[in-house]
Amino acid sequence: MTKETKLGGTFTLSDPTMNVYRMGYGAMQLAGPQVWGPPRDVDAAIEVLREAVAVGVNHIDTSDYYGPHVTNQIIKRALHPYPDGLVIITKVGARRDEDKSWPHALSRQELIDAVHDNLRNLGLDALDVVNLRVGGISEPSEGSIEEPLTVLVELKQRGLIRHLGLSNVTPKQLADAQTVTEIVCVQNFYNVAHRSDDEFIDELAKQGIAYVPFFPLGGFTPLQYSALDAAASSLEATSMQVALAWLLQRSPNILLIPGTSSLDHLGENLKAPTLQIPFDVLADLNAIGGGLHFEVPSPN
């Protein structure tokens, strides 16, 4: 079944000028292997970005520690001066070491430097949205985030940042952050197999806050992959398309940022919003995560 809703419909990130299509693009894969160094074919990376924007994508997720610096420089080369309505969301709070690890970079000076690196490499005077990345690579960890968040709030007050988001956080950390500043989006690890944020997503939807899941195919067991592949086969779609379509149907506040350096894969990903998963297949997919976590529609 298909539906004709362009790129999954739209969602407004608090500011009416930031009304974005729910299907965005994640720039991490534009860097070289292990998100390190330049890609093998810079011109191909530029072509992917330009094609994404040409077909309507108006929401790009990036970070200056991808590469490092590489993806933002490619985005600038491909798209600057940026078209009206394009929202670029970046992240700070980590850095890359020579061993290609991802240590935290949450000191005051590291955060200030990261914001200025993003501004310079993207060619912007102000960043649309900056996500503060805390926690681990894929999971949050409890603890106060007030100190690093306060640094970003100061930069927001100086006009270098328009809006703030959070990445790898718990509901309590969000609530604490909201006593300091408005939060327009949360970016956490979530997919059809990993549902620890189910209640969190529903609460964010009530507040009008976007939820941006990463790793749409991350952490699956062989049995879970098998179930996803079976669903994809029944729908004559790819497993990635089904995983993305499931997320779009999960909640209207979910925004997607699948990344690729391939034009073919980009085209496949952008077809996901046209895939309407029928109730029986949706029930099978819900079972992958251990049960039903949102309402399965009745058959027509």
CB–CB of 269/260 below 8 Å?
yes
Residue 124 burial by Cβ neighbours in a 10 Å radius (0-12, 13-18, 19+): middle
- State both tokens at 56: 């309507």
- Active-site pick, 21, 65, 66, 82: 66
Provide the β-strand partners of residue 25. 60
DSSP 287: H
Task: Say whether 82 is catalytic.
Answer: no
Q: Is 122 left (phi over 0), alpha (psi -120 to 50) or beta?
A: alpha
69: left (phi over 0), alpha (psi -120 to 50) or beta: left
Tell me the three state secondary structure of residue 127. Answer: strand
* Residues with catalytic roles: 66
